Structure 1
Amino acid sequence: MKPTTMDDAAESSPALKAFSLLEIVAGMDHPPTLAELTEATGLPKPTLHRWLAMLEGADLLRRMPDGRRYELAARATALAFAILSNNSGSTQRHQILERVVGRLGESCNLTVLEGSEVMYLDRVEAAAPLRVAFQKGSRVPAHASASGKLFLAMMPPAKRDRLIGTLTLERHTANTLADAESLRTELGRIRRDGYAFDDEEFLSGLFCVAVPIFDRSGRDCIAALALQAPVVRVSRANAAERLPTLREAAEALAVTLR
């Protein structure tokens, strides 16, 4: 989404001006700095500082750990999640997930990228034993999840490099890709093959495989469909068997998100 300038909101109410600033931050392809927001909004720095402080105080924006960049905060992402979860396609998406889980016998997630994290837009649990229970709205780090690595791999290179530069590559298990070079190598493989694995990279004993969900143009990855299972049932040795069913479902889910 191309950011809009706040000139469009110049004659509007303070509420709409605040929304316009949030829209600009959300529309940028990386967490912006103050200088980038000054250029994007056309506002004087003192005015922009005042608006940013107000949105931070309302838990709509937050500064990243480096103190220089801004991203959407919990309240804003919760609102976005509620809108996506309750729009006209949400029931249809849930039914598609239920069918996939019924065919494959493992839990599945519909995910979107929110900053440096993956958020579960919807999830259906399998009835099988030894499953890991996550909920709608759960978040996992992008670098340590199949969906997250998929989003990173499918981005334009410049956007991907900017985002990787902002990530804290925390190690969660012995298998986590906790350095940028290893992560970039893995992302190259994912982009080539069109799917991603999480081989006990976030939780020990858990294996995931994710496929992309593209926009109408077929170029931008707007969401991902991921299957989760204990490694005793799904692993690198047999995960590819699930790909045709997952890809078919991903195409159906894409229609509901357009």
Structure 2
Amino acid sequence: MASSDRIPTNLRTLLILEVLGRSDQPMTATEINEQLGLPKQTVHRLCVTLEENGFIARLGHSKRYQIARRLRELGAGLLHNSRDHIARRQILKDLATSVGETVNFVIPETDGMRYLDRVETDWAFRIQLPIGTNVPFHCTASGKCFLASLPPKQRHNLVQNLNFERMTSHTHVSAESLMEELAGVRKLGYSLDREEFLDGMIALAVPMTDKNGRFISAIAMHGPTQRLSIDLLVSQVDLIQEAAKRLSEVLFSA
């Protein structure tokens, strides 16, 4: 890296965000600077500025920072509007054609999972969850896929603080039952929604990761129980996982 006195101020801010974005754990300003070698006061000042403007946030009352709403929205916007958007759409279209149902590209946010992209099925009877829809973590395939990807301590802390709103008679309403299922999701490599979010809808999701194995999004397939079964969903796992692999290569190979 260039000498710290030759790094422009605006680039220093980006480097701080880059370090924090690469980490799977919240970091103090001192820990961030261990990778940058900038003047201590500069890093602390820039972290405070980023916090005040909603790009990063403190973990509780600690001195550790984690990414916050505006940085997540920035990342989501880059994914949506980049030149790779066309390639992503084509991969999702190919997958939707192969499985014959709606497929979704779903990203985690503070309060749940957001549908960033989707390709609808050609069936006249379908369940519509438009782009931009926000859904809970605890009762959706994509949400459970994300939760299962977290390190054990972070997963436990997040699950313990979820609002276990009962959406249907199948919804998890306790941290204990959800944690038990998440352990299975990690082993299987995919997650299921067994009419937990909407009566009459089932879904399956797999993780899409970056080149370092970090969760970026869920690739999900859903449809009505009148046409789909859990067994039929599971039979499509290989196709969905292959699409997730192709997407990761498109987004992170360069």
- TM-score tier, shorter chain, comes to 0.7 to 0.9
Aligned residue for 2:143, secondary structure, equals helix
Which amino acid in the other structure matches residue 29 of structure 1? D
- Stretches of structure 1 that go unaligned for 5 or more consecutive residues are none
**2:156 counterpart of 1:164:** yes
- Stretches of structure 2 that go unaligned for 5 or more consecutive residues are none
Please point out which of 68, 79, 84 is paired with 1:84. Answer: 79
Map 1:14-163 → 2, pairs under 5 A: 14-32=9-27, 36-41=28-33, 50-63=45-58, 66-68=60-62, 70-113=65-108, 117-128=112-123, 129-135=125-131, 137-155=132-150, 159-163=151-155
The CA distance in 2 between the partners of 1:26 and 1:188, in whole Å, is 26
Shift of residue 115, structure 1, vs aligned partner: 6.3
Q: Is the 8 A contact 1:208 1:228 kept in 2?
A: yes
Give CA-to-partner distance per residue, 1:39-61, whole Å, 9 cap, x none.
33258987665433322332322
How many residues are treated as equivalent by the alignment? 244
Identical counterparts, % of pairs: 33
The CA distance in 2 between the partners of 1:216 and 1:166, in whole Å, is 25
Shift of residue 215, structure 1, vs aligned partner: 4.8
Aligned residue for 1:83, secondary structure, equals helix
TM superposition score normalised by structure 2? 0.76
Q: Is the 8 A contact 1:108 1:226 kept in 2?
A: yes
In the other structure, the counterpart of 1:234 is: 228
The CA distance in 2 between the partners of 1:216 and 1:62, in whole Å, is 26
The CA distance in 2 between the partners of 1:98 and 1:37, in whole Å, is 43
Shift of residue 24, structure 1, vs aligned partner: 2.7
Cα distance, 1:238–1:179 mapped onto 2, change above 3 Å: same
The CA distance in 2 between the partners of 1:165 and 1:240, in whole Å, is 29
Shift of residue 28, structure 1, vs aligned partner: 1.9
Shift of residue 81, structure 1, vs aligned partner: 1.6
Which amino acid in the other structure matches residue 128 of structure 2? V
Cα distance, 1:125–1:228 mapped onto 2, change above 3 Å: same
Aligned residue for 1:144, secondary structure, equals coil
Q: Is the 8 A contact 2:106 2:117 kept in 1?
A: yes
The CA distance in 2 between the partners of 1:27 and 1:115, in whole Å, is 18
Cα distance, 1:8–1:37 mapped onto 2, change above 3 Å: farther
Shift of residue 169, structure 1, vs aligned partner: 1.4
TM superposition score normalised by structure 1? 0.75
Q: Is the 8 A contact 1:30 1:163 kept in 2?
A: no
Shift of residue 11, structure 1, vs aligned partner: 4.2
